[in-house]
Amino acid sequence: MSLRWRTLTALAWRDTRTTRRRLVLSMSSIAIGVAALVAVDSYSADVVRSIHVQARGLLGADLSVTAHHPLPAPALAMLDTLRTRGAKETRVTTFSSMALVSGGKGTRLVQVRAMGAGAPYYGVIETSPTDKWKELQSAPNAIVDSALLIALDAKIGDTLSLGYARFSIIATLRNVPGDVGIAAALGPRVYIPDRYLAETKLLGFGSRADYESLVKLPATIDADVFAKSHRELFDSLQLRAKSVADTERSLTRSIEQLGRFLGLVGLIALLLGGTGVASALRAYMAEKIDTIAVLRCLGASAAQVVWMFIIEAAGLGFAGALMGVVLGVAAQLVLPHVLGTFIPVDVVPQLELIPALSGLALGTWVGILFALGPVLGVRNVAPLQVLRRDDSASAARSAWRDPLRIVAALVLVASVVAVCIARADSAIVGLWMSAGITAAIGATWFAAMLCARAARRLAQLPWRFVVRHGIANLDRPGNQTRPVVLALGFGAFLLGTLALVQGNLLRQIASTADASAANLAFFDVQTDQAAPLDSMFSARSLPSLSRTPIVPMRIAGYTSRKPKPPERRATDSARATGGEESRGGDRARPSWAVRREYRSSYRDSVASSEKIIAGKWWSTPGPDADGVFEISVEQSLAEELGVIVGDTITWDVQGVRIRSRITSLREVQWARFEPNFFVVFQPAALREAPQSFVLLTRVNDDGARATLQRDAVLRFPNVSTIDLSLIENAVGKILARVSLAVRFMALFSVVTGILVLVSAVAASRRQRVRESVLLKTLGATRAQIVRMLFTEYALLGAIGSVAGILLAVGGGWAAVHFIFKAPFTVSPLALTVVAALTMLLTIVTGLFAARDVFAETPMAALREV
Amino acid sequence: MLRDVSFTIADGDFVAIVGPSGSGKTTLLGLLAGLDTPSAGSVLIDDVNLATLSEDARARLRGEKVGFVFQSFQLIPTLTALENVRVPLDLRGDDSAGSRASELLARVGLADRTHHYPVRLSGGEQQRVAIARAFVNSPRVLFADEPTGNLDHDTGVRIVELLEQLNRDAKTTVIIVTHDLELAARAHRMIRLSDGAVVEDRVRGA
């Protein structure tokens, strides 16, 4: 090599001299993608580090044992043994209840946490005024969320009633380790000392509560080892044990999943930026043909010329990536404000080296990879080009069969797959991810190509000249149709998908807006309370919309005739020949579906929120000759249990065995605010069983709704009410936060899309100025030139948004159908808004970037632009 | 750039403006065609003072009364020969654009090349398309900037003959800027520029 590296680098640097401003543009399209990745990765590293530091505080103990029922005797014995070995132990009982304040107005459903002395062992619950936590245990005190005080118009010092007991509010909560901010939206928290719990008389029959034991272990006992070695005991007692390490593992896993999901959006932005670089470089190389020919004449080899431009591309990529890292580190500081309410720890941001360095490397690599295609194309430029000026586009055109360019394309694809796999849970997910990205990019690319083709045809039709010319521009040599449509299509795709998913989810929960639907629910209504409560409704001329019985029960055993995968068959047949019903005993650990407590109901008819998908609703009013009752099972549960129509399940209902046969499977719309059940019995089976009721009514007036709740709670302190409009609000708020986070990340892709659009327009600017000037010389007015550009960009915008919206309908359907398992409807309004925005953006950007066209006087035509 | 340049060109004349590189030829042509505005002085075409017109009005005037031929042809690469010729009429919304353009292409000898794109045409053919385009709007005056500059000698001669023929037949005033003295010698009148001033202005045979 006669030219050394230093010389090549210097040449490369000087070569960019006149075009640096434009190169900065295409560089920044890489920067945004890198910024997104660095921000997400750094933030997720911040969170994981913070979780590690704060894990014990999150659990509040070394070991936590939880049950949905009071801890059984063997568990208490185990805890006693631990205590003799030096451990400390205390209890926390969590349940929902209605709270009201003397003198305040209204009632609120709250989450009560009755804390044993000493709890929590780790982590500090901060209060306002400060240090009031210590005083909680000294008297019947309560520390509550400030949201509750606002909702009930109460203040510190007021008396709070929970059931039959009264507590004095001594402080509000400022920070509870491990609680995510939005938890309070569903029900404000109330902390009370657990020795006054019994006085409330709230934990009656059918009430749901979590009973937790917090254990502080001596240094000699490892919580993780202890939890693992006692797993069987915990399982058999239906207890859930969690060590600090478990907490850390599960939190870290979910944070990493969140990071991966958000990182995917960043990755898309980066690849989009890469295509921007490729198109910018293609236009740039076309302009450099003369320079290349001169260099070749002066004795540079094809390889040296290629290396010179690769050095330029690497420099470009590096500078863009560096810019991205700086931006990303800055965005990392913004992310906590967007995601903060979902994160259970206090996050201390710091400069995370690994995400920063990998972002730098990835950005540079993407810059080089996408530049390779256009750069390798110039190997064909002959020195003769200096003498004989050919059409520059054809001089740089390289054969599809060019083996080097095919290799470059393969390396590009392999790199994308490798990055996807590295960022995904598993190779399979990574492959799917890369397939999805490729399919989306491929679809938009294909749409753009079709449009360029169609433009060639359309331009032949007898339109008005300016329109015809605008259309023809889409297919001009060196056109930027593909990168622009790709950028626009992707932006519209992301925004459209978000809008559709959000719209579909919001519509699901917006049922209380319907005037006939219930908006107030009463829970835990005991048998003798249902009738008086009903008459309270009728006294106020309110409708009693439904009275649904709830019977708690467990599975005692079941048979399954459903064919299983071969590896399980051996144990299945053993079970079948034994003729014994199993309790899910064919698995090493009985599944959650088998162990859980069921809150089932009975009724005569199918509810409006469900649909029979297999079998038939009750055929007889009573049990069959063997005393077996009919039941209907929700389809996903049936799948989880591995049962089909005809299988039998034996239930343990408060110690009484009830045998049942599955006669139908149902599909249930869970998202609707209606009492829905996994298992519904025919009425004869459960009518006499111990049960509680859920009553629904509708009160249109906010004030009347509050009074009714208050009166009901005063009369029946154990009854809980839920104002469904509050729930709807809370869910709406959560959804808004989630979509804010996703939209924040999508913003990176959209900004990249705009940058690609701007740099693509800038890349063809010279050609465009030359031509507009020529047209002016031939008599075109400014208005005519604006109309041509307008036609061109309006068409580009239309193509991009149509391609993007079609993809969005597919993406939205996939997300709603597969992830949220809800029915999908297309909202034309949202899509129209997205399409209009996309088109507007394109036209404005296009005309703005082409503003030089108007500034140039036609004189330039003579001066040879 | 230019100073004390003052002359009148008669209707139907064939004028060559010559001078060495940097003498102000192109600047002068730009001013004459209303592509640029003079800092002092005025240019009148058909008794209309260009300085009083807006840029768009000057463009419209060019569309109606002025034709252009450039050294580097300046055809629009995305349009066929016929479409290129039509452009000035299309811009005016003239319905006869198609037939008029075919007729002119036939007159410059390219009747069989109407649907070819510029890249498929030789330099001489491209310049003939450009001349057809320049005449399509029946201009009062045609400006040609080094029309033979990018062509070999024989092709150049044929292009000039074409310009002369159209000048005769259509009575269009032709103003050529060139530094090719052989070409300039064929003109009826020659204006020589040097350092931004007219140093010679003679009519052939006078």
A711 vs A706: CA distance, rounded Å? 9
Helix, strand, coil shares, percent, chain A, to 5: 60, 15, 25
Amino acid making up residue A792: E
DSSP string, A486-516: HHHHHHHHHHHHHHHHHHHHHHHHGGGGSTT
- CA A791 remoteness from chain centre: 38
The label of the residue with tokens 């708020």 reads: A733
Ordered alpha helix ranges (H), A163-301: 183-186, 197-200, 223-229, 231-236, 244-287, 289-297
pLDDT of residue A25: 75
Give me the residues paired with residue A172 across strands. Answer: A128, A144
A366 vs A362: CA distance, rounded Å? 6
Fill in the DSSP letter of residue A194.
G
Other C-beta atoms lying within 10 Å of the C-beta of residue A221 = 15
Between chains, do B63 and A391 touch, taking CB under 8 Å as contact? Answer: no
Among A211-225, A463-477, A491-505, the least confident range: A463-477
Structure tokens at A314: 């690497």
- Average pLDDT over every residue of B33-50: 86
pLDDT of residue A660: 92
Amino acid making up residue A627: G
Per-residue confidence at A580, pLDDT binned at 50, 70, 90?
very low
Between chains, do A475 and B78 touch, taking CB under 8 Å as contact? Answer: yes
Chain B hits for A864, CB-CB cut-off 8 Å, are: 71-72
pLDDT of residue B30: 85
Chain B hits for A465, CB-CB cut-off 8 Å, are: 86-87, 90-91, 93
Q: How far is CA A292 from CA A107, A302, A388, A415, A479, in A?
A: 80, 9, 14, 29, 22
- Average pLDDT over every residue of A739-758: 78
Amino acid making up residue A682: Q
pLDDT of residue A322: 93
pLDDT of residue B14: 93
DSSP string, A48-108: HHHHHHHHHHHHSSSEEEEESSSPPHHHHHHHHHHHHTT-EEEEEEEEEEEEEETTS-SEE
State the smallest CA–CA distance between residue B205 and chain A in angstroms.
Answer: 31
Does A826 or A170 have the greater pLDDT score? Answer: A170
pLDDT of residue A184: 62
Q: How far is CA A180 from CA A58, A472, A737, A845, in A?
A: 11, 56, 13, 41
Question: From chain A, which residues contact B within 8 Å (Cβ)?
Answer: 391, 394, 459, 464-465, 472-473, 475-477, 771, 774-784, 857-859, 861-864
3-class state of residue A680 by DSSP: strand
Residue B98: closest C-alpha in chain A: A462
Among A176-190, A230-244, B30-44, the least confident range: A176-190
Between chains, do B55 and A782 touch, taking CB under 8 Å as contact? Answer: yes
Q: Backbone phi, then psi, for B43, in 5-degree steps?
A: -120, 130
Q: Backbone phi, then psi, for A687, in 5-degree steps?
A: -55, -35
Between chains, do A473 and B92 touch, taking CB under 8 Å as contact? Answer: no
For domain B1-36+55-69+140-206, say whether CATH 3.40.50.2300 is its number. no
Chain B hits for A467, CB-CB cut-off 8 Å, are: none
Between chains, do B77 and A391 touch, taking CB under 8 Å as contact? Answer: yes
Other C-beta atoms lying within 10 Å of the C-beta of residue A442 = 11
Instruction: Give the residue from B120, B80, B83, B78 showing the smallest Cα distance to A476.
Output: B78
pLDDT of residue A590: 52
Among A187-201, A639-653, A741-755, the least confident range: A741-755
B64 touches chain A (CB under 8 A): yes
B78 vs B81: CA distance, rounded Å? 10
Three-state SS for B55-67 is: HHHHHHHHHHHEE
pLDDT of residue A193: 94
pLDDT of residue A395: 45
Other C-beta atoms lying within 10 Å of the C-beta of residue A587 = 12
Angle at the Cα of A830 (from A824 to A833), degrees rounded to 5?
A: 155
State the smallest CA–CA distance between residue A390 and chain B in angstroms.
Answer: 9
Chain A hits for B56, CB-CB cut-off 8 Å, are: 781-783
3-class state of residue A616 by DSSP: coil
A96-105, A419-428, A702-711, B130-139: range with highest mean pLDDT: B130-139
Q: Is the pLDDT of residue A587 over 70?
A: no
3-class state of residue A271 by DSSP: helix
User: Percent of chain A at pLDDT above 70?
Assistant: 88
Chain B hits for A464, CB-CB cut-off 8 Å, are: 93
pLDDT of residue A180: 62
pLDDT of residue A865: 41
Per-residue confidence at A481, pLDDT binned at 50, 70, 90?
confident
pLDDT of residue A566: 45
pLDDT of residue A115: 92
Q: Backbone phi, then psi, for A552, in 5-degree steps?
A: -75, 140
List pLDDT tens digits, range A203-248: 866 667 889 999 998 888 888 888 888 888 888 888 888 888 888 8
Per-residue confidence at A513, pLDDT binned at 50, 70, 90?
low
A749 vs A490: CA distance, rounded Å? 8
Fill in the DSSP letter of residue A672.
S
pLDDT of residue B154: 85
pLDDT of residue A143: 93
Selected residues 148-187 of chain B with any CB under 8 Å from a CB in chain A:
none
Q: Is the pLDDT of residue A586 over 50?
A: no
List pLDDT tens digits, range B57-93: 888 888 888 888 888 888 887 778 998 898 888 888 8
Among A155-164, A303-312, A455-464, A694-703, the least confident range: A455-464
User: Percent of chain B at pLDDT above 90?
Assistant: 13
pLDDT of residue A681: 93
H/E stretch holding A785: helix A782-814
Q: Is the dihedral of CA A418, A423, A424, A426 positive or negative?
A: positive
Please, what is the angle between helix A828-849 and helix A481-509, to 10°? 150
Specify the long-range contacts of residues A608-613, CB closer than 8 Å, at least 24 apart: A608/A674, A609/A668, A609/A669, A609/A672, A609/A674, A609/A676, A610/A666, A610/A667, A610/A668, A610/A669, A610/A676, A611/A666, A611/A667, A612/A664, A612/A665, A612/A666, A613/A665, A613/A666, A613/A667
pLDDT of residue A357: 93
pLDDT of residue A663: 92
pLDDT of residue A340: 67
Other C-beta atoms lying within 10 Å of the C-beta of residue A616 = 11
Chain A hits for B66, CB-CB cut-off 8 Å, are: 779
Q: Is the pLDDT of residue A121 over 60?
A: yes
pLDDT of residue A402: 74
Q: Is the pLDDT of residue A132 over 50?
A: yes
pLDDT of residue A511: 53
pLDDT of residue A404: 81
A541 vs A27: CA distance, rounded Å? 69
- Average pLDDT over every residue of A675-699: 89
List pLDDT tens digits, range A370-419: 888 888 877 777 666 655 555 444 444 455 567 888 888 888 888 888 88
Structure tokens at A361: 């490397």
**Over chain A, what is the mean pLDDT?**
81
Q: Is the pLDDT of residue A632 over 70?
A: yes
Instruction: Give the residue from A569, A712, A729, A584 showing the smallest Cα distance to A647.
Output: A584
pLDDT of residue A551: 92
Domain ranges of chain B: 1-36+55-69+140-206, 80-138
Instruction: Please say whether the beta carbons of A346 and A54 come within 8 A.
Output: yes
Q: What is the Cα gyration radius of chain A?
A: 34
Among A17-26, A516-525, A627-636, the least confident range: A17-26
pLDDT of residue A396: 47
B34 vs B58: CA distance, rounded Å? 6
B59 vs A858: CA distance, rounded Å? 9
Per-residue confidence at A762, pLDDT binned at 50, 70, 90?
confident
A654 vs A181: CA distance, rounded Å? 37
List pLDDT tens digits, range A30-72: 888 899 889 888 988 888 888 888 888 888 889 999 888 888 8
B77 touches chain A (CB under 8 A): yes
Non-local (6+) Cβ contacts of A290 within 8 A are: A385, A386, A392
pLDDT of residue A171: 93
pLDDT of residue A285: 80
Does A761 or A50 have the greater pLDDT score? Answer: A50
pLDDT of residue A27: 76
List pLDDT tens digits, range A261-285: 778 778 888 888 888 888 778 777 8
Instruction: Please say whether the beta carbons of B126 and B74 come within 8 A.
Output: no
